[in-house]
Structure 1
Amino acid sequence: MKKEERIKKLRELIEKYSYYYYTLNESLVSDIEFDKLLRELEELEKENPQYTMFNSPTNQVGSSLKNTKFTKVTHKEKMLSLSNSYNIGEIEDFIKRVDKLLEERKKPSYVLEVKLDGLSISVTYKGGKLVQGVTRGDGMIGEDVTENILQIQSIPKILKEKIDIEVRGEIVLPISRFIKINEKRLVDGEEIFANPRNAASGTLRQLDPEIVKERGLDCYFYFVVDGEKYGLKSHSEAFEMLERLGLKTTKIAEVLSSVDEIDKRIEYWKDAREKLDYETDGMVLKVNEIEYWSILGNTTKSPRWAIAYKFPAKQVSTKLLDITWQVGRTGKVTPVAELEEVEVSGSKVKRASLHNFDEIVRKDIKIGDKVFIEKAAEIIPQVVKPIKELRTGEEREIEAPKTCPICGSSLEKEEGLVDLRCINESCPAKIQGKFEYFVSRDGMNIMGLGQKIVERFLELGYLKDITDIYNLSQYKEEIEKLEKMGKKSVENLLNSIEESKKRDYSKVLYSLGIPEVGKFLANLLAEESKNIETLMKMTVEDLLLINGVGDKVAESVYNFFKDEKNIEMIEKLKSYGLNFSQEKESKVERNVFEGKTFLVTGKLVKFSRNEIKEEIEKFGGKNLSAVSKNLNYLIVGESAGSKLKKAQEIESIKIITEEEFFKIVKGE
């Protein structure tokens, strides 16, 4: 494609995406994709100035204000957007540019703030009374939404001082409110909001102020317009002034002076932001000294004294190439989205969950769609929704399978349930799934029996049912001759199998794969029954007396132990020495860690992370996911990285090795 044609295409795409985002409150692409297109256009325009236009998207801020329903208002001081960075190297470049522009002047300090993912607002007070609220709009002209911001409780109608002032902030929808609103919309049969930002933007631009009031928007202020007029010398002082006037801030305005400090705090907030009740998509770094702002100046759309650092995207868009169907250990047939590879929250993703066929129908997803994906609980990628506005007509409908994709047996759907299931007990996928579940970390934790090895052993006939795992030693010589095995690998595998016989009763119970019984319920049933014989004798009524066991679980457990094949499996496992009982005092022998918090970092030698975490909880402790002042102990393994460095900066955190940890457990 010729450069002129590419420039034209980029402008059309960016204008289209901007219109949907700012005017229709709908995201057609992720922020990072939008930024990539904008950067490409900027580079092409620099290289080819003959094609540059004054109204190019590279010179515009925010919305073009087409078809606005509100009165247009010209900003007294332009509301600029921030240039974005995606790594610490770009932050370093920003600081070097600042130093160069300031020449021989004293090096500045910097203020680091969270970047709220909401809607920018400028609010004017006269004599301390709120008189006007205007959106960013295109940076020059915004929309007057005064009637609507009067419905937001966190925006004061009267300040604590009788002052004429213009302040700027971000209107957001708290995550807790977002969840409740979407739950209600589902019940009412309405389309749910894709994210809090779109919900906040759509709410603020409602013509009915009562809807705004009902939604429960919030607002955080971060900027005083013309701060020097009020004697302010720094941005950090502006934060203090905002709070003094009774304006709500995030209270996050950290004054820093070096790249190392900035890097450490950005790393900290990557995890810590998850505790906030509002969406953040990055951090904002600003030169603290206000006197430097005019020296540094602005580009056509961004200040040179500030930059945004964007966190890895939680939600991105990509193309749905195809659907494959997986069969689990219970026979549940699950659709999996095959995607064009994309990066989500810092990792490459090519596949994502679609849960079940009913979900595909409800979301109206088609093969060939551009779709949004995100990581559920930061772990499992899932398809959020299709971007219907980008459909070309070449997309294909997704059809539910009628037969098992593995064994070809007919599929069934239980009345009242959404899942398709393969009912063939000999289905290879179900058999393999049961083995993988049994040997998993949360189960018997048998190292060396991964998916590929289990699959190979099934093919060779070494494994037919679960109990055969404890008879693999008879094939020792044959296994040693297999590709990528060898004597050492086989020795480790057999040792791990032998070691698994020492697992707690609750672990064995979990590993049996009783439908509806996960880790928590396995622990609960083990604690209540004390041994397998007692559990096997329990009626549905007995099981329902256990706090935490409902009708579905009780029926499932009862039926599992009425199946002769399951009884036979348990008796065989008993004969191999597995633990089917527990001592009365095994729940918590000593609450030695009660009230204490732990975090594990680095590579452990003697134990897995899951094993240590279980020991922590067993003895009354709690596991955390990030370093903070709330952390009591950091357990350090080999090659510990940034978490160790952060912990060393907080005096109250005790840093221990795994050996020291187990000495505490033993009371040594």
Structure 2
Amino acid sequence: MKIEKYNRRNNMENIKEKIFKLREKIEKYNYYYYVKNESLISDTEFDLLLKELEKLEGDYPEYKKENTPSENVGSSLKETKFKKIVHKKPMLSLSNSYNIKDVEQFMERVNKNLENEDKKIDYALEVKLDGLSISVIYEKGKLIKAITRGDGEIGEDVTENILEIQTIPKYIKENINIEVRGEVVLPLSNFEKLNKKRLENNEEIFANPRNAASGTLRQLDSNIVKERGLDAYFYFIVDGENYEIKTQEESFRFLNNLGLKTTGICEVLSTVEELDQRIEYWAKKREELDYETDGLVIKVNELELWEEIGYTTKSPRWAIAYKFPAKQVTTILKDVTWQVGRTGKVTPVAELEEVELSGSKVKRASLHNYEEILRKDIRIGDRVFIEKAAEIIPQVVMPVKEVRTGEEKTIVPPEICPVCATKLIKEDGLVDLKCPNLECPAIIQGQIEYFVSRDGMNINGLGSKIIERFLQLGYIKDITDIYNLKEHKEELETLEKLGKKSIENLLNSIEISKERDYSKTLYALGIPYIGKFLGNLLAKESGTIEKLSLMSVDELLEIDGVGDKVAESVYNYFRDEKNKEIIRKLKEYGVNFENKFVEKTDENTKFQGKTFLFTGKLEKFTREEIKEEIEKLGGTNLSGVSKKLDYLIVGKDAGSKLKKAEELGTVKILSEEEFLEIVKG
């Protein structure tokens, strides 16, 4: 019995200690977020800590204290530099959801809170901006006050700084008294310029646009606000019913009519299925916006119902935030490995504690180069922010220096190649370390992987592990040996985890690759500076690789789009004996090195002088396939809608590009089927 009492008492002490430490952590993160304008962890991680505290305090109410962070909106007011102002109506935070089941439960709770549970409810869906919440007061149409959210009850007077944001009008279009709420953000385009400038000035970069916007708005010097180019979007009218507004959708129209900027995104839906569909749409579509969105806001559309549905101590019950998977999270940098690429460039790679980022598990991330490590002062053992560059490659953004323990280790660059042990070099004017040994196995493997890639020779079945295996077994030594693999067919079929069918498919893919367009073959060779665009351009201009190889630097420079570096790179490539031998062997194996459309016909000039762009999800083509088809027929692919655009090919869930094209009125809009009809003539 005594042992049981001891264990129970010991367990309760552990729970009490856990709750205390959780509160301590959350209060620290709140302090840095609201006072220092710095995020020490991502919003998702913070929300998980908060949920854990809420559960523990619910299970053990005897350890719950007053002013617990689980019930209070975070505040910057303890060390504010600005005058404090009480909000006319509290600026509450929103409850968060992370999946459609949470949204469904929210909708069920809304119905339960209404007297008439069977009433059909419409919901307004808006994008959730990741910036700094603001309340702006107009009297007789003139902006007289702007207040931050603060702790929800009391905010900071930042009127002087708000007046420096060009997109917030000093006078609205009606001579009325009104309070409107919105979000101050830093456009992504301005964020990139700001961080580039800070790097040039050896200043610490901002981790994300939200931190930059918050830090900028709370500057004492309003000139800094003007320089950085903040923006603002409004989405809420305090006491909207006073202006005969009945719905959230009408609020958006009213704000626009006053000359106040909104996102323009307020979709009215009524079922969980409709919401799920639009959530999926906006999860992809948000990448086209020039501001950060970390989710969507779902509100009961009818304002009259809000009071009936009610509030918790810190959130309205008539609204919820749906959070997208985090684009930025923190984790521990456990170690650094050095990776050798096809050009010999040696790149540092962060080995991380596994973490979920944008819906996938991440254990490794790019550190770019050693100078970047020094500039950001990244150390082994650091807690670091990571994000996905262009939603594909994880990269380390910056360390969280505030949580360092003193046990972190400085990262030291290697002196010899980690693969072949050759002494590394650093070329003049470049920041990267380089392995100069052209026989380095890592360089050869990188060249082969590049050669067989989808944008190159598009050889299926030759992944990095298979290539590494074939190199070790001696079946391939360079890219030319790929075309000799058929001589080892019987041996390859006996290799573990391959088999007859896999090898047959691989050899078929190798044979098909011989007929790839000359431009693809040119790209696959890996000539420095020659990507897809220049590969296509040089193929068109030269017609054959023989002609290209004989061009002088001056002749190359005459090609529109070719600069000094590219001309010298191409010229030098064809003067190297090893490269000459590779091309000779590839020709012997039957690889195509000529533009089959040199002689122009009516068929292959069908799109001559015409420009194309596609938008939405295509079902009959991949993006690369449709680009190739357009270029093969003499057309040009554009990257955006403009007056220069002739045709817009529209797939499923087309968005802003379609809208812009329709507004221009000069663009011919085609479905995939209509495009195919034109191709077939």
- TM-score normalised by L of structure 2: 0.90
Please, which of 16, 26, 30 is the counterpart of residue 14 of structure 1? 26
Q: Tell me the amino acid that sits aligned with residue 477 of structure 2.
A: K
The question of whether the paired residues in 1 share the 8 Å contact of 2:382 and 2:408 is answered with yes
Contact 2:612–2:648 (8 Å) recurs in 1: no
Does structure 1 conserve the Cα–Cα contact (< 8 Å) formed by 2:186 and 2:230? yes
- Matched ranges for 1:582-593 at <5 A: 582=595, 583-585=597-599, 589-591=605-607
Amino acid at match of 2:607: N
- What residue is the counterpart of 1:638 in the other structure? none
Give distance in 2, aligned partners of 1:422 and 1:342: 32
Does 2:88 align with 1:76? Answer: yes
Of the candidates 614, 620, 623, which is equivalent to residue 597 of structure 1? 614
Q: SS where residue 19 of structure 2 aligns?
A: helix
* 1:510 and 2:550 are equivalent in the alignment: no
| Residue identity opposite 2:558 in structure 1 | L
> Which residue of structure 2 aligns with residue 98 of structure 1?
110
Tell me if structure 1 keeps the 8 A contact 2:453–2:459.
Answer: yes
1:162 aligns with 2:175: yes
Q: Could you tell me which of 258, 261, 264 is aligned with 2:271?
A: 258
In the other structure, the counterpart of 2:643 is: none
2:313 maps to: 300
Whether contact under 8 Å (1:413, 1:421) holds in the other structure is yes
Aligned length: 647
The alpha-carbon deviation at position 180 of structure 1 amounts to 2.6
Aligned 8 A contact 2:612 2:638 in 1? no
* Residue of structure 2 in register with 1:639 after alignment: none
Matched position secondary structure for 2:410 = coil
Residue 615 (structure 1) aligned with residue 629 (structure 2): yes
Cα distance in 1 for partners of 2:489, 2:34 equals 66
Q: Is the 8 A contact 2:138 2:179 kept in 1?
A: yes
Query: Counterpart of 1:665?
Result: 679
Q: What letter matches 2:248 in structure 1? A: H
1:634 equivalent to 2:646? Answer no
Give the CA deviation at 1:569: 1.4
In the alignment, is the contact (CA less than 8 A) between 1:20 and 1:28 conserved in 2?
yes
SS in 2 for 1:159: coil
Question: Which of the residues 46, 50, 63 maps onto 1:38?
Answer: 50
Identify the range of structure 1 (207-216 vs 72-81) with the bigger mean alpha-carbon deviation: 207-216
1:316 paired with 2:363, answer no
Greater Cα shift, 489-498 or 36-45:
489-498
Q: Which residue of 2 aligns with 1:153?
A: 166
The one-letter code matched in structure 2 to 1:456 is: R
For the structure 1 residues 621 and 44, does the alpha-carbon distance in structure 2 shift closer, same or farther, using more than 3 Å as the test? farther
Q: Distance in 2 between matches of 1:371 and 1:456?
A: 35
Tell me: CA distance 1:55–1:290, structure 2 relative to 1, closer, same or farther (3 Å).
Answer: same
| Equivalent of residue 466 in structure 1, options 474, 479, 500 | 479
Change (3 A) 1:437 1:596: closer
SS of residue paired to 2:215: helix
Shift of 1:157: 2.1
Higher mean Cα deviation, 501-510 or 486-495?
Answer: 486-495
Q: Which moved more, 1:538-547 or 1:200-209?
A: 538-547
Q: 2:553 aligns with which of 522, 530, 540?
A: 540
The aligned amino acid for 2:269 is L
Q: How does 1:187-586 map to 2 (within 5 A)?
A: 187-582=200-595, 583-585=597-599
**Alignment counterpart, residue 5 of structure 1, candidates 11, 17, 25:** 17
What letter corresponds to residue 450 of structure 2 in structure 1?
Answer: Y
How far apart are residue 194 of structure 1 and its match?
A: 2.2
Within a 5 Å distance, the mapping from 1:56-71 to structure 2 comes to 56-71=68-83
For 2:678 and 2:169, the matched residues in 1 are separated by: 53
1:156 positional shift: 2.1
Greater CA drift, 567-576 or 102-111? 102-111
- Give the superposition deviation at 1:61: 0.8
TM-score (norm: length of structure 1): 0.92
Q: CA deviation at 1:467?
A: 1.6
Cα drift, residue 176 of structure 1: 2.2
Q: Which residue of structure 2 lines up, in the alignment, with residue 184 of structure 1?
A: 197
- 1:48 is aligned, of 60, 63, 66, to 60
Give structure 2 stretches of 5+ with no counterpart. Answer: 1-10, 641-646, 663-667
Q: CA deviation at 1:653?
A: 8.8
Give the C-alpha shift of residue 430 in structure 1.
Answer: 1.1
Give 1:216 deviation, angstroms.
Answer: 2.1
Q: Name the SS for the 1:341 alignment partner.
A: strand
C-alpha distance in structure 2 between counterparts of 1:654 and 1:342, whole Å: 43
Distance 1:392 1:546, change over 3 A: same
How far off its partner does 1:609 sit? 6.0
Asked if residue 124 in structure 1 is aligned to residue 124 in structure 2, the reply is no
Distance in 2 between the 1:598 and 1:211 partners? 38
CA distance in 2, matches of 1:126, 1:65: 26
Output the CA distance in 1 between the equivalents of 2:477 and 2:172: 75
- Shift of residue 494 of structure 1? 1.4
Distance (whole Å) between structure 2 residues aligned to residue 263 and residue 466 of structure 1: 47
C-alpha displacement at 1:409, in angstroms?
1.0
Alpha carbons of structure 1 residues 228 and 383: separation in structure 2 relative to 1, 3 Å: same
Moved more, 176-185 or 137-146: 176-185
Once the two structures are TM-superposed, the CA of residue 244 in structure 1 deviates from its matched residue by 2.5
Partner Cα distance (1:55, 1:289) in 2: 33
For structure 1, which segment, 289-298 or 188-197, has the greater mean C-alpha deviation from structure 2 after superposition?
188-197
Q: CA deviation at 1:252?
A: 1.4
State the match for 1:139 in structure 2: 152
User: How far does residue 616 in structure 1 lie from its aligned partner after superposition?
Assistant: 4.2
- Cα 1:218–1:348, aligned 2, differ >3 Å: closer, same or farther? same
Q: Distance in 2 between matches of 1:643 and 1:492?
A: 36
Q: Which amino acid aligns with 2:264?
A: K
1:613 touches 1:623 (CA, 8 Å); kept in 2?
no
Q: Contact 1:403/1:409 (CA < 8 Å) preserved in 2?
A: yes
Contact 2:471 2:477 in 1 (8 A): yes
8 Å contact kept, 1:598–1:622 = no
Q: Report the Cα offset of residue 129 of structure 1.
A: 2.1
2-side partners of 1:144 and 1:488: how far apart?
71
**1:590 to partner: Cα distance:** 2.0
SS state of the match for residue 282, structure 2? Answer: helix
The CA deviation at 1:621 is 7.0
After superposition, the C-alpha distances for 1:575-632 in whole angstroms (9 at most, x for unaligned) are 1111111132579532198546255556x8xx8764444224544375999xxxx974
Are the structure 2 counterparts of residues 472 and 284 from structure 1 closer, same or farther at C-alpha, using a change threshold of 3 Å? same
Distance 1:665 1:654 in 2: 12
Structure 1 residue 192, shift from structure 2 partner: 2.6
Q: Could you tell me whether the CA contact under 8 Å between 1:624 and 1:631 is conserved in 2?
A: no
Instruction: Note if contact 1:62-1:136 (Cα within 8 Å) is conserved in structure 2.
Output: no
Separation in 1 of the partners of 2:618 and 2:352?
Answer: 32
For residues 176 and 57 of structure 2, what CA distance do their matches in structure 1 show?
A: 45
Give per-residue Cα distances to partners, 1:82-113, cap 9 Å, x unaligned.
01111111111100100111142523211111
Deviation at 1:34, TM superposition (A): 0.4
| Alpha carbons 1:126, 1:163 under 8 Å: kept | yes
Distance 1:84 1:185 in 2: 34
The secondary structure found in structure 2 opposite 1:348 is: strand
CA contact (8 A) 2:348 2:368 kept: yes
Q: CA deviation at 1:343?
A: 1.6
Query: In the aligned structure 1, how far is the partner of 2:622 from the partner of 2:484?
Result: 25
Spell out structure 1 runs of 4+ moving beyond 6 A.
651-655, 660-663
| Cα distance in 2 between the residues matched to 1:586 and 1:414 | 44
Q: Percent identity?
A: 67
> 1:597 touches 1:621 (CA, 8 Å); kept in 2?
no
What is the identity, as a one-letter code, of the residue corresponding to 2:103? Answer: I
Query: Equivalent residue for 1:87?
Result: 99
Structure 2 CA distance, aligned partners of 1:364 and 1:467? 43
